[in-house]
Structures are given as C-alpha cells and as structure tokens.
Structure 1
Amino acid sequence: MANFDLNLLPIALAVFEERSVSAAARKLDMSQPAVSVALNKLRSALGDPLFVKTGRGMQPTPRAVSLIGPTREILQRVHAEVLSSDQFTPATTTKRFVLALSDIGELMLLPRLLERIRDEAPHASVVTVTMAPAELVAALESGEVDLAIGYFPDLRNRNFFQQRLFSQDFVCLLRAGHPLPAQKISLEHYQAAGHIVVKAEGRDQPMCERFLLRRKIRRRVVLSTAHFMAIPLLVATSDLVATVPRAFGEFVVRFAGIRLVEPGFEMPMLDLKQHWHRKYHKDAGNAWLRGLAAALFPAGAQRVLCQSSSQRSSCNRASGARL
C-alpha cells in the first residue's frame, strides 16, 4: 500500500468509461502519453494488463472490471467527505449548541437567540454553561463549547477570534423610596452609601471594581453576592446601592420598588463580545450561530478580530466586516 499510487485509480476509471486512452486523456485534461504512462504503472502494480486494445476500443479484463466498483466508491467518498465543503443545514440539523454566557450575556442575548434558533433550526438544542477561565479555554479548543458570549478578558490569545456585539456603561440601582436624589448620585453620596457588590464568574463586576479602585473611589461594601438575580430583592428591601451594567439595570427596573439612577461621575464602558476558537472559524455550524448572535445587535456588532494584533489584518480579510 505504501508504494501504490492512488492517483492512478481515476485514470483507470476514465479509460474504462471511455474505452479509449485518447478520450480518457481529454476527459482528465491530460496528455495521451501521460495517460499511457500512468496506465502502464497501474498494470505493473496490479500484475494485469487491465485493458486490451480491440476493434471495439480498449476492453477491460476481469481484473479491471473488479477494480471499477471499489474505485468509484473510493472517489465518491473522497469528493463527498474530504473535498466538499462542510455542510450545515439549519432546518434539519439536530446539533446541540453549547454556549458559555456571563450573567449579562445570558440576560441580553439568550431569549432572543433561542427564538431565532427555534425559527431557523427547530430540531437543534442549546445548553448554557459557566466555567472557570482555564476550563473555558480548554472547552472552546476541544469544541465542547461553541461560543463564549459576554465579558471574558481571559480569552486573549492568538487562538481565539472575537467580535464585539454591543457596549454599555454602568448605572446604580436604588429602592424607590431611597433618600438619595432621584436622577443622579454624586460621588460624595456614592462613597457614603452602603453597597451591594456582585462577585460572579461572569466578570462583569470585577471590571467595574478595578476601574473604581484605579480612581481611588472607595465604597462601603455591606454585602457581596455571587448572583446578579439576587440584586432586585436586596435593593428593593434596603437602602443599599448596587452598581450594575446598564442592560441589567434597565431590565430589573421593571420590578416594583426599584429605580435606576445615573452616576454623577465617570464610569467604565463594558464591551459584550462573542469569542470562538480559531479551529472552528470555518465551521459552518459555528459560523451560522455567530451570525445569528451578531444579527441581534446590528448597530453594535463590529468587525471580527483575531486576538493577536499581528494576525488581525488577515483575519479581517478572511472574515469580512461582519458575520
């Protein structure tokens, strides 16, 4: 097998179908001498004349006839499974998509994304997971997780692509009857108030914490919690202040007893991005899912970038301005 040239098989098939070396050469876009040389190599390798010249053209020997069925099957499988592009049909796929989402990513994206998936891929399913940074890197590389959507600063190496979906700042949540002014909270009042701080795996809050520390803005932290969804009840039943991403703030003010207050001082901007491993950049199913996510934020979705600055120009050329 190590010495057998598989490139000879298509030539044998062409001669069998055309019953002529010259006709086979035209079909294969080869010269007639080249086809003759290849045919002689195949005869030598198999120890059989394979084709005999007669008045009715090149007639196959029994060995050649037995060769044609397996040859057709081999070539069809190569074209279908090796050379053809990755096939993905949303309407019929039963794929299970796994998403790593931060709290804000799940809140802002998941309901609408799930609706789009159900419309276009009704037989597909979705699983959301939360992972530690090292686990998430390994899961994206292995394909265990398809996309990570949210604020994931740990996914900063050349093996990952990223696309910003939208940006938001931070706001404050207070109970409706809180004694602080209704529209804005000054830096003085902010530092004097008691605070709820969210310390979750999603990392939306730690980014805000670092920003405040760099500006030497001190807070009196009364409560630390790992769950964003505990915030509405805690704020509504206390005089504590919660500093949260705007998207979350605008969502929870739908609940009675909570109001949104703008900080009277600078707050950081938070980019919500989707990340995927470079191994799956050309995967049709992954690209389809990324496209759905990006289409949910037409005003904010930006150019696809490699995490390595030295690769960004080539990645942008390959990816286009948007998914």
Structure 2
Amino acid sequence: MKTIETAIETGFDLNLLRVLAMLERTRSVSRAADALDMSQSGFSTALARLRRRFGDALFVRTPSGMEPTPRARQMILTAQSVLGQVQLGILDPPVFDAATVHTEFRLAMADVAEIVFMPRLLRHLQQQAPFARVSCVTLSPEDLPSAMASGDVDLALGYFPDLGAQAFFHQRLYTHTYACMLRRGHALLGARLTEKTYASAGHAVVSSPARSNALFEQFLQRRGIERRVVLSTPHHLSLPAIIEDSDLLATVPLATGARFAKLGTIELVRLPFKPPSFAVQQHWHRLYQHDARSAWLRAQVAGLFNDATDEWIGIEAALYGKDMRRRVASPVPAAGQAGGR
C-alpha cells in the first residue's frame, strides 16, 4: 500500500496513527491515553512529535474537547483506513465462511480413491459449501509435492507413502486392505480360493499411479506369488465390465470392490492369504497448516472418514475374521503429524 510504503521509507512511526485515531474518537488526551494504555505524558509527547513532523497543531483545545484541524481531519481518514486494514488483514484471526465463499477445492487422489471418497464428500460439500467447486487430479509422486507447496493441490487423499517428508502433515483416517473380485457364477466361487488357484487363474491388474497397487505387488513378490496376468489396464473403473464378462480375477482395495459389488454382477471374495493393510490418510503441506480454508476442509474430511464411520470394516470381518491382524504399511511419520495412528 502506497501510504504504508511511503511511511516506512521516510522513517515515520506508524504507531502515531493510533494516537491520531484515538484522539479523534475521544477528543480527550487523558481518555485517549487510557484507551491506548499510555501515560498522559507519553501521549502528549507522541502528539508533540506529530505536530513537529507536520508543522500543524493537529488538535486544538476547545470547550467541547480537542478539535482536529483541517490537516488532522485529512490525516485521520487515512489513519483509520490503514488501522482498519491492519486489524482485518493481520491482527484478526482469518475466517473461512464455507456457506458463502466461492472457491475450488483441489484434491489429489487416484481413481480408486475417487470411487470411495467423492460420493460422500461431494454430497457433504454441496450442503456445507454450496458455492464451492471440487477438482480431482492424479499426479506422479515426483510432481505432487510441488503442487501441494504451491497451493495447486489442497489435500492428497489416500495412500501416499512418498509424502512422509518434513514438509508435510498427515492424518490417518482409517486402515484398509484388499479383496478379490470375480463375476457371479464363476467356477471358483464354489470352492475356497487357494494360493495355487489364485496364482494360476487369469488376472486383470491395474497399472495406475495409485500407490496401493504398488504396495500389493510388493507384497506378492515377498510371498513369491506370481499371478498370470491376462490384462493390464490403467483404470479401475473399467474393471466391473471386464470382470463381469470374463473369468478373470481382480484384486482391488476392499472399498473399491465393495462399491463394484453393489452393481450386482460382481462377487467379492477373500484372498487366500492375509493381505497387507495400509493407512488411508489426508496429507497437506505445512505452509497451509494454519490456513482457515485448509483447516475447514481437513475437518470435513476427518469428520466423514474415520474409524467410527468405516463402513467397510464389517465386510473385512466377514471375509477375514474379526481378529484379522492389521499390518499397516504406512509412510515415515511426517514432522508434527496430526492425529494418531
């Protein structure tokens, strides 16, 4: 702002603006000094500095109180404006009014996470932030950190083990695992799926940037299980149609499989081993830790997706038993992480 820049360049004490504004409000040196928590002599000294600086009496004692001169009236208007902007833009805590703001929330997630998060989240945001837009992006592990630092991405939702650096905060939402999909009427539905039949069956696998896919592949390699891959696709959303019209199997995160099973043509079955578990988290850059807009969005996500609202825990228990040990594959804890594991 030109007024502030000029004041700084000329060495003007901006605290003197408070003296002008308060004396205008109270029209009394003693009351103005009390209001600013100053001694009366200290206030008088500050007023004398102003008078010398501008070569004007600024305030003159009259029967009705201290009256501003024409020069002072002009200065007071600017002083009030500057002080008001400092109060609003610096001293007052930031406020985010979700009900009225026009904004765009930018979320990084894989398509598999969109299936899980977006229906419930979008429905909630349309009620709480009716003028907000939502934009979803899928970025490589190399590009995501810079996009979050610049504000191009507000939150990363899902499994992102690469965001464990000092620059990020994260909050665990719930723990998740995997299940196997196959079509209704599949021959393998009649018998318990074994590692041998699982490995020898034809598989459709998703080769997307979703880190949960890489986690499962690493798990299979450690166990020495090599699947017979018939189809590799970058998209989870094509799996229902592929599985429905073939004898292929597909291993997907449990919530994704449960969503597809609702279509009525897909069956969800347990894997022939205890699959790995992973922490589904929300991540944000530490630059936005105290940003009101970011904090509001994070609170909505945490309220919608957490251990208490985990709608897939019952399905997991039905497939693997209630006592299934969750071996959580989680990233290195970020500095100052939010929430417990």
Common fold by TM > 0.5: yes
**1:35 matched to 2:43:** yes
Q: 1:259 to 1:57 in 2, by over 3 A?
A: closer
Structure-1 residue corresponding to 2:123: 115
Find out whether 1:130 has 2:163 as its counterpart. no
2:257 maps to which of 249, 264, 267:
249
| Deviations 1:282-313, CA, capped at 9 Å, x for gaps | 222222222221112242589xxxx885843x
Superposed CA offset, 1:60-106 (max 9, x none): 33322221111111111111222212121121111111111222321
Contact 1:15 1:24 in 2 (8 A): yes
Residue 175 of structure 1 corresponds to which residue in structure 2? 183
State the partner residue of 1:236: 244
Instruction: Look up the SS of the partner of 2:188 in the other structure.
Output: coil
Which residue does the alignment assign to 1:258? 266
For the residue of structure 2 that corresponds to 1:77, the secondary structure is: helix
Gaps of 5+ in 1: none
Deviates more, 1:252-261 or 1:197-206: 252-261
Matched residue type, 1:271 = A
Which of 5, 14, 32 in structure 1 is aligned with 2:22? 14
Report the Cα offset of residue 269 of structure 1.
0.6
Deviation of 1:59 after TM superposition, in Å, equals: 3.4
Indicate the residue corresponding to 1:276 in structure 2. 284
Equivalent residue letter for 2:128: E
Asked whether the equivalents of residues 183 and 245 of structure 2 are also in contact (C-alpha less than 8 Å), the reply is: yes
Moved more, 262-271 or 42-51: 42-51
Is the 1:199–1:224 contact (alpha carbons within 8 Å) kept by the matching residues of 2? yes
Q: Could you say what secondary structure the match of 1:4 adopts?
A: coil
Structure 2 equivalent of residue 150 of structure 1: 158
- In 2, Cα distance between equivalents of 1:81 and 1:240: 59
Amino acid aligned to 2:110 = S
In the alignment, the residues of structure 2 paired with residue 227 and residue 62 of structure 1 have an alpha-carbon distance, to the nearest angstrom, of 72
Aligned with 1:244: secondary structure?
Answer: strand
Of residues 143-152 and 11-20 in structure 1, the stretch that sits farther from structure 2 once superposed is: 11-20
Looking at structure 2, the residues matched to 145 and 183 of structure 1 have their Cα atoms a distance apart, in angstroms, of 46
Cα distance in 2 for partners of 1:13, 1:24 equals 9
Equivalent residues, number: 313
Provide the alpha-carbon RMSD of the alignment.
2.3
- Give 1:237 shift: 2.2
Offset at residue 54 of structure 1 (A): 4.8
> What does residue 80 of structure 1 align with?
88
CA apart distance, 1:199: 0.9
* 1:201 aligned to which of 187, 198, 209: 209
2:197 counterpart SS class: helix
Name the aligned partner's letter for residue 202 of structure 1: A
Q: Does structure 1 retain, via aligned residues, the 8 Å contact 2:107–2:137?
A: yes
Supply the distance in 1 between the matched residues of 2:190 and 2:289 (Cα, whole angstroms).
48
Per the alignment, residue 13 of structure 2 pairs with 5
Kept in 2: contact 1:158–1:308 (CA 8 A): no
Q: TM-score of the superposition, structure 1-length normalised?
A: 0.89
Cα distance, 1:24–1:255 mapped onto 2, change above 3 Å: closer
Q: Quick one: distance in 2 between partners of 1:300 and 1:163? A: 15
Displacement of 1:321 in angstroms is: 7.2
**Partner residue, 1:285:** 293
Tell me the secondary structure at the aligned position of residue 134 of structure 1: coil
Q: Given that residues 148 and 274 in structure 1 are in contact (C-alpha distance below 8 angstroms), is that contact kept between their aligned partners in structure 2?
A: yes
